[in-house]
């Protein structure tokens, strides 16, 4: 049954739909939702999966649409997030980004990496290293060894 048929069935059966706010996402992937303006307390819910990939990521504070079961022993079901898709929102690039570690920081991709060590050593590894500069490209050190 696809998502639209599921929703149509819920509406046809008169099942209660509730606009709520996520208060927690538990380790077992259950979602705790508080009703907005409702008399019900927190509702523990499962998440409706609409595809085999791109699982909806929910965070505390997200507003969601929930199917509320008529039996108390049944979990509710979060049908989706209400509001703009977080992935489509413009990503704000920070003005400055600082990564801090006690011993070392490594940025790696495939066969290349950059490692910064606490002792001041910087290691740059790759199959092909390219240095580009619009102005002067300076190599400065106590000694410079080429090959």
Per residue in 45-80, pLDDT (tens digit) is 888 877 666 677 888 888 888 877 766 667 788 888
- The pLDDT value recorded for residue 44 is 84
Which overall architecture, per CATH, does domain 3-81 show? Beta Barrel (2.40)
Question: Can you tell me the mean pLDDT for 20-40?
Answer: 79
Residues in the chain: 147
Lowest mean pLDDT among 31-40, 106-115, 116-125, 127-136: 31-40
**Gyration radius of the chain over CA positions:** 26
How far is Cα 91 from Cα 84, in angstroms, rounded to an integer?
13
Structure tokens at 122: 């910087």
Which residue matches tokens 């508080």? 34
Question: What residue segments make up the domains of the chain, in order of their start?
Answer: 3-81, 98-130
pLDDT at residue 37, rounded to an integer: 43
Q: Which residues pair with 34 in a beta bridge?
A: 21
- What pLDDT does 98 receive? 86
pTM (predicted TM-score): 0.46
Q: In this structure, what token pair is assigned to residue 30? A: 């259950």
């Amino acid at each position: 049954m696809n998502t639209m048929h599921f929703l149509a069935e819920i509406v046809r059966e008169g099942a209660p739909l509730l606009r709520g706010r996520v208060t927690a996402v538990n380790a077992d992937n259950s979602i705790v939702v508080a009703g907005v303006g409702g008399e019900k307390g927190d509702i523990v819910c499962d998440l409706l999966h609409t595809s085999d990939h791109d699982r909806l990521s929910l965070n505390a504070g997200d507003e969601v649409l929930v199917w509320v079961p008529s039996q108390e022993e049944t979990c509710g079901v979060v049908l989706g997030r209400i509001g703009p898709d977080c992935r489509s929102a413009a990503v704000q690039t920070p003005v400055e980004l600082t990564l801090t570690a006690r011993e070392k920081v490594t940025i790696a991709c495939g066969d290349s990496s950059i490692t910064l060590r606490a002792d001041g050593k910087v290691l740059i590894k790759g199959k092909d290293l390219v240095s580009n500069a619009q102005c002067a490209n300076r190599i400065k050190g106590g000694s410079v060894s080429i090959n």
